Structure formats: structure tokens, C-alpha cells
A and B are shown apart, each in its own frame.
Chain A
Amino acid sequence: MAKAKVKFADVNVTVTVPVGTRIIEISEKVGSYIAYNCREGDCGQCMFAVVEGAQNLSKPSELERATLLQQYREIIDGWRSLDSAEAIAAAMKRDNLGGRECRLACQTQVFGDSVVAPL
């Protein structure tokens, strides 16, 4: 069976997995701090950042794209609701997604080598 390597950058663990394995099946077991909730692509809690190898992951479905859009909106609304420049700067620094590809761990399948991390 074809294999691929996924590195979870927050815990420094690289796992060799059968091609097609979903990120969530691995992340929970290695203790990576990718949160999750509904496991159905609906809640957006398991959003994570692809550090390297985005082209080696499954393409997002319409469902995943819609949930990601909702999550981005919520993050931006969260910044908007802060009332000081310092708080906004700190929040943007914390979850600045600029240049990072984000995906849902419950939906994304591994097809080749990649490096992933929690947001």
C-alpha cells in the first residue's frame, strides 16, 4: 500500500500513514492539539494550518469550503469586536492566517508528504 509522511509540527511527530488516511485519525492519536468537535465537516472546530505539502492533500469539498469560509468570517468578526488596537494586534498575531492554507482535519485526506500544525 502506498504510504505518505505527515509531520505534526506542534508535537514534533512524523507519522508514516497509508495514503488516504484522514488527518483527524492521526492527530488525535499523536496528541497534536488540533481541536475537533462534530467530525462531519460542519462545525469548523478542527481547522488546522498546512505548513508544507498542500498539494499532497485531498482537495476540499464544497462542504469543507463553506465551513472554512464561515470560520474565516468568524475570526475576522472576532477581531472586529475587540475594542483596542493592542487587543486587535494581539489577536491578529495569534491567528494571522495570511499565507497559510487552512483545512479541516476531519475532511482532509493525506495523499503525499506534508507538514501540518494547529492554528
Chain B
Amino acid sequence: MSVAAAVTERIHWIGALDPGMRTFDVILKTPSGTTYNSYCVRGSEGVAIIDTVKLECADQFFARLQQFADYGEIRAIVLNHLEPDHSGCLPELLRRAPQAKLYVSESAQLMLKALVKQDGLAFVPVTTGDSVSLGDRTLRFLHTPYLHWPDTQCTYVPEERVLFSGDVFGCHFCDRRMFNDAVGDFRFAFEYYFHHIMRPFKRHVLDALALIEPLDLAAIAPSHGPILRDRPRDYVARYRELATPRLKRETDNGDRTLIVFYISSYGNTRRMAEAICDGAAEVPGLRLSLYDLEGSPVEPLVDLVEEADAILIGSPTINGDAVKPVWDLLSSFAGIHVKGKVAGAFGSFGWSGEAVRMIEDRLRGLKMRVPVAGVKVKLIPAREEILACRDFGRQVGEFLIGRQVTREIDFSELVSAA
């Protein structure tokens, strides 16, 4: 089984191919399988192993490792990311190379103990600025957390100008030719991986890029998919483009963005949505949008929510619940960053009207801020109920621009049904 292995004269790929993988981590499809990339770095005073592979692929990993190093030479083991597909062979590797020191990021320490339940596991926590010498080669660490776990980091070998980037710049694509200039067209896999893995962490991507962009790069060696040795900077630039908010880049007049989503069976929740927009429109400095959930697939709406400052969701109550298109939208927020955004709910009902409360609970569960209690209307909104909707829209708008009214309430209003 020959696989292209030499990244440079001193750095070899010793990972594993998994061409049969089709669903990764529940959330990702992998139509061409994946690779678990592990690397062997040779210095004049010892060898470093960067990441391991999934336990099921241990045979491939140890067989390749043995082609390039003896276990006795291994001085350092670096885990850039602790997920089991990279840490799976760690216990066995430590058994075979007991003299090796293990390096993980500072935030990896607790996770490591939970993952490798082994007494006396020794490791050295490292962060940006720390380095380990292998004689004539050096491992330099970059603290790049939340890409896509709290523990993630990158490791750079300046003498070889190679960045071991962990899952950053990776993708699920299995091709034994291994290098981006030799493998098939993997653009789809690269973009898909960013959208499903890195997207909720765009801010952290930008922080990491600030550390990565100044590096002199001959190649980026990620932990999945092709090794990027042909124009590695293009991939760095693409990450910056993907992580930078678009709306603010295209039209930034300082307005705060409020989107009102609704779905309506008899037009009552729609009337409420319109009144809420009218109310919010009285507040200056807002960019307001109104969307009927019936009129669009979910994905483009999620794109809008990603860059919005606030969202309101209107749903009728049917059989004691909000309706499916509302839950479809809400269940898609896991793929973007919504924590801290302002949110609220409203809706008309005929019988019991649970939807508003259930939506609010979900919004809070997503760590969004729900500053104004939602409006419920029994069936057709009367004039004063329309005014209550306008009020609701205006209050949310005022909260959004930092102009809140002073309120005094009892805790029971917060815990019982609105």
C-alpha cells in the first residue's frame, strides 16, 4: 500500500486512510471517505510525532511510523486536538515509547484526563510562545482554541516552514496521492468542512488567522485530507474570506439588524408580525426584515440569522406545540454562532397557546438573550392586541440600540408561563 509520504526531507506523513467512511461525527457526510493525518518530524536530537489516528486504524499508523522512526527515538508527542480520531492511538504509542513527552494545549488538560482514563498520565501543557527543540528542528506552538474544540492548537516547524494545523484547513477527502497538487478536485470537501465544522467559531478562526498569517509557509499539514503544499497561502486567504462577516463588509452604516420570522395558518400571526415590524420601525438605526418561513428553505434563512443582531419568531400553536418549520429553523442554529444575540417569540393561538413559551425556552437554551416577554394573542388580534404587538417590536428595538426602559418584575413572571 504505497501512499505519498514525504512532506519534506524531515517530515513524513504516517497517518491512515479510511476510504469507507461515509458519515463523520453524526453531522458530516463524507462521500470520498477521509484520512487521519499523523506526522513524524525528525530533528538531530530526536523525533516528534504530531497527532495519532483513530483506534480502528492503529495497524496502518504503527506500520507507517516504523518505516520512519524507532520508538526509542521518539522524544515528543504532540496532540493538536484530542478528538478520538486523533488521540485514539495515544495510549498504545505511549506504551511503545514510554520516554516520550506528551505536549497538549493548556485547555486540553481536563479533557485529556476524561479521554485517556489512565492514572499517572504525564503531559506538558503548552501555549503560544512555547517551543520544544529536537536539536536542529523546533516545534513552536500556537494557541488556537475552539477550532473546533476548546483544546485545539497548531504546531509550526520554522526550519521546514510547515504548519501542523489540526482540523483547521482540513477536510474529509481520501486520496492516497495525499498532496493538494496531486489529488482529485477536493474543493467541495474543503468548503463543506469549513461550513460544518468551523462555521460556528468564525471569531476564533479570525483570532487563529492573526497568528497563522505572519508565518512563512511552505506547506500546511492538516489532520484530515490533502496536505496543502501548492500555494498554501490561498487556503489561509480563503479561511479569512469565509470567516469574515459579509453584511458588515458590504453595507455597514452602523445599523443594528432585526429579522422577524413568522408562519401563519389564518393570517393572525402574520398580522402580529407586521405590527411588530411597524413598532420596531419607530426605533431609529435598525435594519428590519420580515420573512414568512413558508417561503424559503431553511439554509438561506440561517445565513441571515448568522449576521443578524436580533431575531423574533412567530408561530401559531398547533396541537400544543410550535409548528415544524419553526423547529426546523431553530434546530439549524447549532451550525452558526447565536450566543448573545437578542431574540423573542410571538404568535396567535386558538386553544392553549404553548408555542411562544416553548420557542422562548429554546432561544434561551441556545444562550440567546430574551429581554422582552413574548406576545400571545387568542385567534384574531384585536386593536389593543395589535398595539401590544407594536409595543413589543418597539421594546425589542429599543433594547437593541441600548435604550431600555426601567422595569420592575416578580420572579414568578419569569418562571411561569408568559
Using CB atoms and an 8 Å cutoff, list the residues of chain A in contact with chain B. 11-18, 21, 26, 28-33, 35-36
Contact = CB atoms under 8 A, between A and B. Distances in A.
Contacts of A15: 408-411, 414
Contacts, number: 51
A14 B408 contact: yes
A11 B340 contact: no
A12 B364 contact: no
B interface majority secondary structure: mixed
Of all A-B residue pairs in the complex, the 8 with the closest CB atoms, nearest first, are A31-B371, A31-B369, A29-B414, A17-B411, A12-B406, A14-B408, A12-B404, A16-B410
A8 to B, nearest CB: 10
A31 B399 contact: yes
B117 interface: no
A31 B410 CA distance: 15
**How many B residues touch the partner, as a band?**
20 to 34
A62 B372 CA distance: 36
Contacts of B340: 33, 35
A interface majority secondary structure: mixed
A23 to B, nearest CB: 12
A11 B370 CA distance: 11
A28 B364 contact: yes
A21 B342 contact: no
Given A29-B370, A30-B371, A31-B369, A13 B411 contact: no
A30 B414 contact: yes
A40 B408 CA distance: 29
Given A29-B364, A29-B370, A14 B409 contact: yes
Contacts of A11: 371, 399, 404
A103 B401 CA distance: 27
B411 A18 contact: yes
B342 A31 contact: yes
Given A14-B409, A15-B409, A18-B411, A33 B369 contact: yes
A61 B152 CA distance: 31
